[in-house]
Amino acid sequence: MDKLKRVLSGRDTEEPSGLAEVIESTSLGWGTRVKGFIACFAIGCLCSLLGSCLLWVPKKGLVLFAVFYTLGNIASIGSTLFLMGPMKQLKRMFEPTRLIATIVMLVSI
């Protein structure tokens, strides 16, 4: 479990420096990160499910589906920011091996 925490928080390959200690002391604790991830992911799933249910509403169903499904996807993707941190998440999303998948996902949203 400790290794998983180190990998997800980005401390697996780096040696701690003065700046890293300052950033680490001002960041969220592991328990808070997990709670934020669960809450944000649950909201994302709920919005996506609600969007799928609202698809069958007459006349405005497609618009409601698009709005709620998009918000659900953004919230679900944003939930991983709690575990990894925003900068590390963006760096990993735009790595050469993931660049095409990231672009396709962002264009689809």
In the chain, domain spans: 15-108
Structure tokens given for 52: 């799928």
Summarize the confidence of residues 92-109 as an average pLDDT.
90
Q: How far is the CA of 98 from the CAs of 57, 84, 86, 87, 108, in angstroms?
A: 37, 16, 16, 15, 15
8-22, 51-65, 76-90: lowest mean pLDDT where? Answer: 8-22
CB 79 within 8 A of CB 44: yes
Q: Which tens digits make up the pLDDT trace of 14-41?
A: 555 555 654 565 577 888 888 999 999 9
6-20, 25-39, 64-78: lowest mean pLDDT where? Answer: 6-20
